[in-house]
Amino acid sequence: MHGVNIGWEAITVMDARDYIQEQAAGFFGDLKEWLSIPSISADPGHHGDVRASADWLAAHLRTTGFPQVEIWETGTADAPGLPAVFACWPAADPAAPTVCVYGHHDVQPVEPLSEWDFPPFEPTQIGDALLGRGASDDKGQVLLHALGLRACLAASGASAPPVTIKLLIEGEEESGSPHFAQLLAARADRLACDVIVVSDTTMWAADVPSLCTGMRGLTAAEITLRGPDTDLHSGSFGGGVPNPVHAMAALLAGLHDGDGRVTVPGFYDNVVNLTAKERELFARLPFDEKAWLADAGNSQAVAGESGYTTLERIWARPTAEINGMWGGYTGPGGKTIVPREAHAKVSFRLVADQDPAQVLAGLHEYVAAHTPRGIEAAVTSEGPGVRPSSAPMDSPAVQAGKRAVERAFGTEALFTREGGQRPGGRSRRDPGRPTGLHRGWPELRPHPRAQ
């Protein structure tokens, strides 16, 4: 399957930009070949393709010149996961810093096929856009690292990069990264680094180059309130016993105060507030609120925590969301009961330096304090949640990234964050933390399902 269209052999000193232009046709030939592998991790029927995708990438990176290329299996023998690809190219200078680049080689499902204008695994060029499943999420971003590294070598005439470069390219990102934390823990020694580059975010716009410096984390829980042993007739008991649905409504309504701030105890204790500089730079992004509202399911108005702009709310402020609530009688007609129980699912988007476990502990405390006498409350959650990640804009690594982007694009680079999260997010104040740096590219997708 693997064919390499770029001739890496000729290493001569030349301008990086000229080198890249010279290699462009071969680069896109290789990318199209990789994009034709339907590496859909969520579909067991395509797991063989995810393995083929890992094999293709490993072969490509070996051809690129990486002296260490390994396919890392995930999961267990009884319950195998899908493979990641690891590669390392040590710097000539052992004192040089080490950079680890994260990306993924699996792609999202393609259904419904009727919404595609062309077969999703037959990459198609429309204008300057290369369209196909995975083109901008995330195979294009991964593959450009190989080309960029060769361009760096061509520009210096060196046979090894100026920093040690590690690539960790996951194969399960689009299906929830079920084994990623385990993989990071098991391979911590091989992945040690000074800087992390996440090459799986979006750039603000084609003419507004940007670097993403943070992603929100996540934790979630289900709340159950129980009252009487059985549904009661309201004519006989209504008004005389606590109603779990009433209690749930009050409990959920109290999750935010009048300013839209979350009332869970200790919720904001570890939040790193935006600096004036960060707010100023966010404000310089050309943000069209009307278009954003249209993209937000034609929402009719913005809403959220007082004192913050929409971008600040969705990127850099933590939230509590009620995802669903149910209880009592919801069938046709009426049924005059005092229901025996009520349920709700809630989730919290977190920012640095919030800890998912601490937020959940605060939720337990909140629910206990807001449960009326006669009602039993239970709060359950699955998994450890995802820690937020953030890198200070003024950190040396982020500033180096800014200079690099500005050299390439010839214009000022701005900063963004993302409201979602990537697996294995770490807070910037973790002991032994590397500096995170998220680099992203605009989504090259005139069709919403073409990426």
Partner 1 sequence: MGMLLKGAEAVAYLWQELALTAEVSPGAGTR
Q: Which residues bind partner 1 (CB under 8 A)?
A: 16-17, 20-21, 24, 27-28, 31, 91, 95-99, 125, 128-130, 140-141, 143-145, 147-149, 151-152, 155-156, 161-163, 165, 192-195, 197, 203, 206, 209, 396-397, 399-401, 403-405, 407-409, 432-435, 439, 441-442, 444
State in angstroms the smallest separation of the CB of 409 from partner 1. Answer: 6
State in angstroms the smallest separation of the CB of 420 from partner 1. Answer: 21
Q: Is 65 left (phi over 0), alpha (psi -120 to 50) or beta?
A: left
Which residue, 75 or 97, is less far from partner 1 as judged by CB? 97
Which residue, 161 or 227, is less far from partner 1 as judged by CB? 161
Amino acid found at 209: P
The Cα 205–Cα 203 span in angstroms is: 6
The Cα 377–Cα 272 span in angstroms is: 32
Which residue, 63 or 156, is less far from partner 1 as judged by CB? 156
Which residue, 22 or 43, is less far from partner 1 as judged by CB? 22
State in angstroms the smallest separation of the CB of 272 from partner 1. Answer: 17
The Cα 208–Cα 193 span in angstroms is: 29
Which residue, 248 or 444, is less far from partner 1 as judged by CB? 444
Helix (H, G, I), strand (E, B) or coil at 436: strand
Helices (H), 139-288: 140-156, 180-186, 188-191, 234-237, 244-253, 276-283
The Cα 285–Cα 292 span in angstroms is: 13
State in angstroms the smallest separation of the CB of 27 from partner 1. Answer: 7
195-201 and 98-104 strand pairing? parallel
Which residue, 121 or 441, is less far from partner 1 as judged by CB? 441
State in angstroms the smallest separation of the CB of 213 from partner 1. Answer: 15
Helices (H), 65-177: 140-156
User: Distance from first CA to last CA of the chain, Å, rounded?
Assistant: 22
Which residue, 344 or 444, is less far from partner 1 as judged by CB? 444
Identify whether the C-beta of residue 134 lies closer than 8 Å to the C-beta of residue 173.
no
Identify whether the C-beta of residue 349 lies closer than 8 Å to the C-beta of residue 419.
yes
State in angstroms the smallest separation of the CB of 389 from partner 1. Answer: 15
State in angstroms the smallest separation of the CB of 214 from partner 1. Answer: 17
Structure tokens at 447: 């069709």
